[in-house]
Amino acid sequence: MRREQTVHLERLHTNMLELPWYIQEYIDTKEDTASPSTLLGYVHEYKHFLQWLMAEGIAPYEKLADIPYSILEQLRRKDVENYIKHLSRRKKINSDKDLIQNQKLSNSTILRSVSALKSLFHYLTTMTEDNEGEAYFYRNVMAKVEIKKDKETINARANRMRAKILHNDDDRKLLEFVATEYEKLVARTKKEAYFKRDKERDLAILSLFLGSGMRVGELADLQLEKINVNERIVTIIRKGGKEDSIWITPSALADLQEYLKIRKKRYKVSDDEQAVFLTLHNGSFKPMSVRAIQNMVDKYTKAFNVRLTPHKLRHTFATNFYNKEKDALQVMMQLGHSSTDTTVLYTQLGNATLKESLERLDE
């Protein structure tokens, strides 16, 4: 299990204690098949739903754990529709959980909330057994609620995503910007010392995203013993805990090696520490979290005037890789996709492949 998943598992078990026993039972049945991150997301959705029921007077209890499943059994379709309206009007909360931004929840986020509730109600009304061998209850109000997914073709999705990735040689320019220009922006500020300390590390991280296409969680959990310098291969843990080996570009390996030269001394690392990417906190090293890596990428790309996430850097790699090789199977294997369905997207994310094909019809 990846380090981030271990943290999420601990948080999952802590948060579950606030929920009613029948929801805890449902989560327990899913632990062998769903990731801790997914289940933690479910738990947050259920807590928010029960808190809404309490706030609306539908569940007149002081604690979430005291709400019986009879409350869920008695819910009307109008109650659920009102909850979905509540979600559509709810604003995003920042990572510190205290400042509300001026951005509403996306439709996909609302759909995930509804989907989580549908899964819970399906379990309670079909998979459970009481002392008489009957389901806890049979009236499934969530079965009356349709999930209206966004209708979008691959071309439409590609056009939307095209504006959110790096094109041509902008990936190289981003790395050059961090290596030679960013220091000028933070000169004579408190940020300068931190940048100089972390420069090699940050370049290695950006270079690996752009030179391998790995996910942020895979990069955060990268281990020293899993790096094969001679073969230019790193072994990572994919979603679901599956181990996979991928190649990285020569330039990404070069940046990684530059970081490894200074890693032990710069971050005061113990000999047995295997986590590759580290930070210093109160004078002691600790592995970088997914959130820390995301914030680091945001910092540099914002300064570069593009504002990208690690996932968009992954899209950039995949698009560049496909444009070079024109081989969707290679892209699928490198990214760890289970089918070519997702990979097909990258055939249209680059330099307007379909547009160029149509232009050739007039030649």
> Known catalytic residues?
215, 239, 311, 314, 337, 346
CA distance 268 to 254: 22
Long-range CB pairs of 304-312, under 8 A, 24+ apart, other chains included: 304/173, 304/174, 304/177, 304/178, 306/166, 306/170, 306/174, 308/164, 308/165, 308/166, 310/209, 310/215, 310/216, 310/219, 311/215, 311/216, 312/164, 312/165
E-strand ranges in 253-298 read: 278-281, 284-287
287 strand-pairing partners: 278
Helix (H, G, I), strand (E, B) or coil at 227: strand
Tokens of 69: 């499943």
Tokens of 260: 């490894």
Long-range CB pairs of 260-264, under 8 A, 24+ apart, other chains included: 261/200, 262/200, 263/201
CB atoms within 10 A of CB 166: 22
CA distance 333 to 340: 9
Residue 175: C-alpha distances to residues 17, 203, 211, 244, 260 (Å): 45, 7, 11, 26, 18
CA distance 294 to 206: 11
**Which residues contact residue 175 at a Cβ distance below 8 angstroms, ignoring those fewer than 6 apart?**
203, 206, 207, 210, 255
